[in-house]
Amino acid sequence: MPSNSPFLRQPASVQSVMLKVLVALLPGIAMYVWFFGWAVLIQISLASVTALAAEAAMLAARRKPVRHFLTDGSALVTAWLIALSLPSIVPWWLTVLAVLIAIVVAKHLYGGLGQNPFNPAMVAFAAMIVAYPQFMSQWPAAGATDLATQINAIFGQRQLDAMVMATPLDTLRTALHTSGLNATVESVLANKTTYGFLGGKGWELVALGYLIGGLWLVQQRVITWQIPAAFIVAFGGIAGLTHLIDSAQFAGAGFHLFSGGAMLGAFFIATDPVSASTTPRGKLIYAAGIALIDWVIRVYGAYPDGIAFSTLLMNICVPLIDKSTQPPVFGHKEKRP
């Protein structure tokens, strides 16, 4: 904490910010590899190479300085987020296609870094889950870490019966919605081979890794506290409240926060500086909106997780949120409507 005048601040370069985001993803990735095998690293390298190539091609086509923008790392962050949100055993072409959609369509066709109204990684995820639901629902089972099988799944013939499973979120919803089973949240979550202590075997520790990395980003002032805090409070609040009202139908806050993409969303996706809200109060509204929409999609929707759709929906609202939460200029009184 510097406390001496003249309070000079080093303006953060895009490159250093993006580098810190990549570093902060490492604990989560380490957990991912530990529980689900090396496949995710293959996907990350595949996505990174594709992203850099696509970025360079688009920069050249738009006659921008290639080296300057290519080394800012923003394409790498997008690529890593895509690789981490897709199931780690999707076929290679699906990852490549997703990254191309993110970089070419969602980023550069909208005007490049700083101009894109939608989070590129989430545009790609949404396009993939709409186009290929059959591949997007095949997640690796925890402990099925045989490298040869995973490589085969990514690059060759897919014979997956032994190693795939639905996500814990999916399993829970299917069980609750199948009438006649009389399943309650408690009875479903009692199955410890799928569910660990909080969110789902393995997944909860991956989420913990993201949480640790995310807190470090807040401490480094790369991201502000508003978005993750509002996301977690709103998500935990609605999940906890509904769980209190009917614990048989609604899973609790711990389960929701530590399963699916909640932690990745709270610290790495919703905080995208380009597409997120920029005013302090706006960030609170924006992140809480994402959390609430995501909860609704998880509980009542047909898709396994809703981070992508809820982020895109709130991206649309950002201009309105920013306009109505603009803080008063220093020295002026706040306008009361």
Partner 1 sequence: MSAYRDIARSGLWKQNAILTQLLGLCPLLAISTSMVNAVSLGLATIMVMAVANLAVSSLRSFIPYEIRIPVFILIIAALVTVVDLSFNAWLHDLYLVLGIFIPLIVTNCIVLARVEAFAAKNPVGASTWDGIMMGVGFVWVIGLLGLIREFIGQGTLFSGIDMVVPGLHAIQVLPEDYPGFLVVMLPPGAFFVLGLMIAGRNWLDARANDRAKALLVQHTQASS
Kindly list the residues in this chain that would bind partner 1 in the complex (CB under 8 A): 105, 109, 127, 130-132
**Closest approach of partner 1 to the CB of residue 37, in Å:** 24
**Closest approach of partner 1 to the CB of residue 98, in Å:** 11
Phi, psi dihedrals of residue 6, rounded to the nearest 5°: -100, 30
Residues 45, 164, 31, 84, CA torsion sign: positive
H-helix segments, 6-160: 14-36, 39-61, 66-70, 74-85, 92-100, 120-131, 133-136, 147-155
**Closest approach of partner 1 to the CB of residue 131, in Å:** 4
* C-beta closer to partner 1: residue 66 or 131: 131
**Closest approach of partner 1 to the CB of residue 117, in Å:** 14
* C-beta closer to partner 1: residue 135 or 216: 135
Report yes or no: 307 and 260 within 8 Å, Cβ to Cβ.
yes
Report yes or no: 143 and 35 within 8 Å, Cβ to Cβ.
yes
**Residue 139 bridge partners (DSSP):** 165
* C-beta closer to partner 1: residue 96 or 131: 131
* C-beta closer to partner 1: residue 248 or 316: 316
CA 325 to chain centre: 25
* C-beta closer to partner 1: residue 130 or 248: 130
**Closest approach of partner 1 to the CB of residue 309, in Å:** 12
**Closest approach of partner 1 to the CB of residue 135, in Å:** 8
Q: Which residue in 185, 136, 94, 141 sits closest to 302, CA to CA?
A: 136
Number of neighbouring beta carbons within 10 Å of residue 260 = 25
* C-beta closer to partner 1: residue 34 or 135: 135
CA distance 76 to 109: 18
Report yes or no: 115 and 8 within 8 Å, Cβ to Cβ.
no
Q: CB pairs under 8 A, 24+ apart, for 90-96?
A: 90/43, 90/135, 90/136, 90/138, 90/154, 91/135, 91/153, 91/154, 91/155, 91/158, 92/46, 92/154, 92/155, 94/128, 94/132, 94/135, 95/43, 95/46, 95/47, 95/50, 96/46, 96/47, 96/50
**Closest approach of partner 1 to the CB of residue 181, in Å:** 31
**Closest approach of partner 1 to the CB of residue 58, in Å:** 14
* C-beta closer to partner 1: residue 82 or 291: 82
* C-beta closer to partner 1: residue 126 or 172: 126
